[in-house]
């Protein structure tokens, strides 16, 4: 995995003046555009789009110092106007491009290289479990993407569930963990900048088909799942575990993310200080790994 990441960093370097598409990224790293970008954001501490923008501006800075014209550099790195380039450049460096060119002010943003940095020696508890094809029946809506804190739109979705819908869900629920599941899928491209929306479903796992008009159903294909239990303050503990899964566990594991919805559930006990929850990540074995 790290080899593919570093290959992508090399690819970005040689294509800074061109559009870099999601298809290009997927071919190089062997993951869907969405899953790679999510992993990158946790590992690098910034979005891939932000990284590419910073590298372009860093190289532009060097070219301005060596005498390139502001107009040429602006269009070379994909800006539609000198004003747009100047604004972005000043936000990044604190100086206007013309000031950099005149006073030879240098600011750099180095190319990233990925490597495994083992620290702390703290292991993550998880299990790999195969699950047959199943359905999730419940209610859903598009909600804003949010990395930290409680998502008010999801809370509002939960509050809209009627007693009749709850009863119908319980009639259908016949699979472990027999808990209310939170299911996230169909992320907008703005995931990296914590912008845009995703579809969030609240429901139960079932082998049955949904007969009720006021409920929705999605089908989850057969897959392996990496299941991560965690306990502590909610939602901070679950969000911290998610970050570690992407930044630490996935790059060093024998698995990669499968293109299925992510699932989690939480056992509420009346307090948010010590809550048990599980994160289910759909995975598949890496083709070149033997477990």
d(CA 128, CA 214): 34
More confident residue, 4 or 61: 61
- The verdict on whether omega for the bond into residue 235 sits within 30 degrees of 0, i.e. cis, is yes
| Coil, strand or helix at 189 | helix
Which tens digit of pLDDT belongs to each residue from 203-249?
A: 999 999 999 999 999 999 999 999 999 999 988 888 888 888 887 78
Rounded Cα distance between 200 and 154, Å, is: 7
Select from 208, 248, 228 the least CA-distant residue to 129: 228
pTM equals: 0.69
How many percent of the chain have pLDDT more than 90? Answer: 57
Q: What is the pLDDT of residue 253?
A: 81
pLDDT tens readout for residues 33-61:
777 777 788 777 788 889 999 999 999 99
Average pLDDT, the chain: 87
| Average pLDDT of the segment spanning 103-116 | 84
pLDDT digits (tens, 9 = 90+) for 136-188: 999 999 998 877 778 899 999 999 999 999 999 999 999 999 999 999 998 77
Most confident among 3-17, 91-105, 199-213, 244-258 (mean pLDDT) = 199-213
pLDDT of residue 219: 97
Here the tokens at position 56 are 């372009």
277 pLDDT above the threshold of 70: yes
262-267/255-257 β-pairing = unpaired
Residues contacting residue 87 through CB under 8 Å, at least 6 positions apart: none
Domains plus CATH for the chain? 2-103 (1.10.10.60), 127-285 (3.20.80.10)
pLDDT computed for residue 140 by the predictor = 97
DSSP 192: G
């Amino acid at each position: 995995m790290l080899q593919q990441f570093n290959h992508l960093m090399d690819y970005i370097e040689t294509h800074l003046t061109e559009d870099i598409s999601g298809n290009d990224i997927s071919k190089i790293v062997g993951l869907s555009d969405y899953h790679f970008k999510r992993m990158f954001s946790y590992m690098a501490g910034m979005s891939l789009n932000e990284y590419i923008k910073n590298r372009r501006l860093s190289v532009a800075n060097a070219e301005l110092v060596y005498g390139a014209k502001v107009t040429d550099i602006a269009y070379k790195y994909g800006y539609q106007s000198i004003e747009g380039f100047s604004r972005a450049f000043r936000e990044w460096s604190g100086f206007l491009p013309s000031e950099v060119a005149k006073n030879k002010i240098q600011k750099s943003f180095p190319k990233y290289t990925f490597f495994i940095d083992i620290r702390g020696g703290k292991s993550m508890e998880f299990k790999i479990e195969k699950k047959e094809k199943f359905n999730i029946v419940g209610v859903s809506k598009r909600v804003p993407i949010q990395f930290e804190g409680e998502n008010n739109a999801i809370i509002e979705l939960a509050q809209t569930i009627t007693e009749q819908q709850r009863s119908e869900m319980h009639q259908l629920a016949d699979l472990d963990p027999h808990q209310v599941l939170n299911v996230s899928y169909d992320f907008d491209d703005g995931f990296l900048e914590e912008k845009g929306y995703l579809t969030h479903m609240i429901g139960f796992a079932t082998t049955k088909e949904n007969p009720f008009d006021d409920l929705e159903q999605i089908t989850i294909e057969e897959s392996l799942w990496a299941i991560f239990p965690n306990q502590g303050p909610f939602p901070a503990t679950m969000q911290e575990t998610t970050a570690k899964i992407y930044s630490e566990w996935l790059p060093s594991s024998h698995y990669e993310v499968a293109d299925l919805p992510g699932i989690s559930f939480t056992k509420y006990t009346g307090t948010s200080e010590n809550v048990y929850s599980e994160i289910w990540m759909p995975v598949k074995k890496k083709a070149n790994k033997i477990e």
